[in-house]
Amino acid sequence: MKEKIDWKKEILASGRFNNKFSRNLLENGEKNYMQGIYMGYMYARWRKMRGLDKDDPKENTGQMQSSFKDFEKKIK
pLDDT, tens digit, 9 for 90 and up, residues 12-46: 888 888 889 999 999 999 999 999 999 999 998 88
Name the amino acid, one letter, at 50. Answer: R
Q: Virtual CA dihedral for 50, 56, 58, 59, nearest 10 degrees?
A: -110
Q: Mean pLDDT over all residues of the chain? A: 83
| CA distances for 1 relative to 41, 43, 57, 59, angstroms | 27, 22, 22, 28
Q: Whole-model pTM above 0.75? A: no
Helices (H), ranges, the chain: 7-14, 20-28, 33-50, 68-75
Three-class secondary structure of residue 59 per DSSP? coil
